[in-house]
Structure 1
């Protein structure tokens, strides 16, 4: 059974591709400390316009974070998940994490509870997490050989021995704890997702081994994410010239690791204070914190559990009403790549000029497989005053350099001509499902391509 079909994931936007356009999540930055130093991480960096793990505008106490959840839940009807993902490690801050989870269980019992962890302390806290109602868990696992891990982690600090470990010794300690913790969480019935950062030149040959290992452990989902390594990030890797992983590298690695554990293709590498539907972060709306002055009980009333439960049922019915993928003509379609501009449900419901990302599918035989999301620095149109023929399209052409078909609601004459000159067939299909739009392609065109 795929994770999307599992009833436990039906309203979890990370575990269900169908849910991520309907249900929202909120990340609570209550865990500032970390017990390992990854060479790709610098948690001091903050930018409200950037989305990457560890970034947050402010840190919150457990009480403040729950107030934020209650307030956000009164404003966002599809809020279904509360998670702790930093800016450090959730289990390196056990007091803050467990107090937050306990308060959420009391005041927001309708939410799914998640944490993200490097796994160093997971064997010691797995049962506690289960008792507090955590049913979905993410562990970052980048290597299963200490020789590779030693290139990724500068040091590992063990609170039990109160000692800092480096090189292969530290990587081996971390790995053993990760595997033991994952095994225990799976045994306890939790849904476990593994995050792996693809680091060019470091762990490309390692990640297929990771996929093979986690398959044998009963892990539900594997999320391969690109290393983000720009000079301004100030990380060890960015300072030493290790490049960011490209979209093509990530998509190819997902293919290599698709050996029995479902590959996640819709990750947006969320901030530690992310709020909203994936891809439409609303953290800035809740950053000012006027609601923090309100009493918890008043916010609990605003949260309105009966109304939220009714909304959840309505959204679940909408999710179930999404038509199943239709079959496509199966002619010379092996390996063709499709880019879709969409807000929801694999439907062409977004104009080309408004798109800030392209959802990528591979057309294999008579079906489609989601392979990734390619994000832009900004949309082609920046508003009515700037939506004209002089808009730059170079970034889009680079992002779509290997794409065969673009399916979109509408596209202007100028960008259409530039895309078609680059060998991309543009299909206007406003409101249509993706398979319906592709079904309009003439058989002779498929054969010609």
Structure 2
């Protein structure tokens, strides 16, 4: 008898524990027996174990698993021209932004509350709003408290790297096996244009000397982490006219020193944020400029393309921040961790992931067989690897490219939600269409005739014919329909 169909659509915070446990039991799978086929053939099993449920280190995992950042480390030892940690807005998503700073004890309460209500949670990170290594006492105290209560959560930090070498041994002792370092340069002359000052060894340094010290400490920290088997992701901010071309060199340096991933992110420079770059008119890269640079980096350090440039208090799946649901005033003073919901979710998702990987492999073979040109597809999704979001409700679109090489995730495009209260806003739709520049097809669970027609006028086809299918399955069908027909016509 075949196993029942599992719907991840229902596995949200509204799912009761009894429902989730019943679904896991009926699926007949356990995390040790299902989904094993998802491991890439060319990946070491030990590495796979570290990344398979980590939404930042695995593009595939980000469809199923959530992260949480706790804002316990406000102090920082460098100044970046793209950063203003004082800015706070519940609707703004960018690094350094928080709604409330936490003590280690408050962080523990908040993590338990989220773990009890968000079954997808797999990773806890400290990403500021300052620097996790510089504000080390708070970072360490937080991790120690949480590790005692929740034994299976992955612990991560994000750092600028200046103080990192001083704490690598302690990171190893605490079983922190994922570290993100922001590295924007390997040439101090370029670094001096990005960093006005650093504070190191009880002194403030400026200019090229500051950038040189930062560079040396970043490289040392990266090498130390690699030697100890800690996976490292390098974040680089793409700043047009400052370091955009230089990031090719950065990619080479970090690959040589063992970085697992290189994440090139666009500069965010809205004047309203009060940053130096924002106030002086330094522009960020356009979406196609960012993609072009990422394409040039292929073959170097492995690229991460699904980053959302998260807030320092982000909660939930990438692209679906639920942090405002878990502010301190909404969390009970006394709270006890219940592992059952997360355990049940992992059992349910294991089978779904195995099915998804099989469907993805089949779709890639279809695309390779058609052997046509490139097709760029934007997908409205709420997770689970499926086309399951209404066009009008989407706050972002995930972008895929199908080509003779296969089907690859290349980016995401943030948009303002078009439909509110059942009514679409024309001005908002214009913004959505502008954000979809370069896209051939939009896939969504549902779309009205009006936005569909306006997209068509802009040269973008939109369809809900593949609603709730796996993303790659739909893309494979679209690609075969387009290039398979062309191929038959060419050979007739």
* TM norm structure 1: 0.92
Instruction: Tell me which of 328, 342, 350 is aligned to 2:366.
Output: 328
Closer/same/farther in 2, CA of residues 366 and 186 from structure 1, 3 Å limit = closer
Closer/same/farther in 2, CA of residues 224 and 366 from structure 1, 3 Å limit = closer
Q: In the alignment, is residue 258 of structure 1 matched against residue 292 of structure 2?
A: no
Q: In the alignment, is residue 37 of structure 1 matched against residue 75 of structure 2?
A: no
Q: 1:442: how far off?
A: 4.1
Distance 1:234 1:371 in 2: 30
Map of 1:6 onto structure 2: 48
Aligned residues: 437
Map of 2:269 onto structure 1: 229
Map of 2:460 onto structure 1: 424
Q: In the alignment, is residue 204 of structure 1 matched against residue 241 of structure 2?
A: no
Kept after mapping to 2: 8 A contact 1:68/1:292: no
Instruction: Tell me which of 409, 413, 434 is aligned to 1:374.
Output: 413
Map of 2:203 onto structure 1: 163
Q: In the alignment, is residue 314 of structure 1 matched against residue 342 of structure 2?
A: no
Q: In the alignment, is residue 60 of structure 1 matched against residue 102 of structure 2?
A: yes
Distance 1:204 1:97 in 2: 32
Structure 2 unmatched runs, 5+: 1-41
Closer/same/farther in 2, CA of residues 233 and 225 from structure 1, 3 Å limit = same
Instruction: Tell me which of 347, 357, 365 is aligned to 2:404.
Output: 365
Kept after mapping to 1: 8 A contact 2:108/2:146: yes
Closer/same/farther in 2, CA of residues 407 and 111 from structure 1, 3 Å limit = same
Structure with higher helix content: 2
Deviations 1:351-400 (A, max 9, x none): 21221111111222151111100001x2221122x247x56421122111
Deviations 1:112-161 (A, max 9, x none): 00000000011111111111121111000001111111100010100x2x
Instruction: Tell me which of 447, 470, 477 is aligned to 1:433.
Output: 470
Distance 2:190 2:44 in 1: 30
Kept after mapping to 2: 8 A contact 1:342/1:408: yes
Closer/same/farther in 2, CA of residues 419 and 446 from structure 1, 3 Å limit = farther
Deviations 1:307-332 (A, max 9, x none): 53343333333323323312234557
Map of 1:414 onto structure 2: 450
Distance 2:87 2:44 in 1: 33
What is the RMSD computed on CA atoms of the aligned residues? 2.1
Q: 1:180: how far off?
A: 0.4
Kept after mapping to 2: 8 A contact 1:328/1:435: no
Kept after mapping to 1: 8 A contact 2:222/2:258: no
Q: 1:444: how far off?
A: 7.0
Deviations 1:205-226 (A, max 9, x none): 1111111111111211111111
1:262 is paired with a residue of what secondary structure? Answer: coil
2:357 is paired with a residue of what secondary structure? Answer: coil
Distance 2:223 2:298 in 1: 21
Kept after mapping to 2: 8 A contact 1:27/1:273: yes
Map of 2:29 onto structure 1: none
Closer/same/farther in 2, CA of residues 289 and 133 from structure 1, 3 Å limit = farther
Closer/same/farther in 2, CA of residues 366 and 250 from structure 1, 3 Å limit = closer
Map of 1:337 onto structure 2: 376
Closer/same/farther in 2, CA of residues 121 and 308 from structure 1, 3 Å limit = same
Kept after mapping to 1: 8 A contact 2:74/2:101: yes
Q: 1:433: how far off?
A: 2.5
Alignment of 1:43-442 (within 5 A): 43-158=85-200, 160=201, 162-291=202-331, 293-294=333-334, 299=335, 302-324=336-358, 325=360, 326=363, 327-330=365-368, 331=370, 333-365=372-404, 367-376=406-415, 378-384=416-422, 386-387=423-424, 390=426, 392-428=428-464, 429-438=466-475, 439-440=477-478, 441-442=481-482
Closer/same/farther in 2, CA of residues 425 and 446 from structure 1, 3 Å limit = farther
2:59 is paired with a residue of what secondary structure? Answer: coil
Structure 1 unmatched runs, 5+: none
Closer/same/farther in 2, CA of residues 65 and 216 from structure 1, 3 Å limit = same
Closer/same/farther in 2, CA of residues 104 and 225 from structure 1, 3 Å limit = same
Distance 1:15 1:446 in 2: 38
Deviations 1:283-335 (A, max 9, x none): 111114343622xxxx2xx3123553343333333323323312234557433
* TM norm structure 2: 0.84
1:88 is paired with a residue of what secondary structure? Answer: coil
Deviations 1:11-44 (A, max 9, x none): 1111111221221111010001100000000000
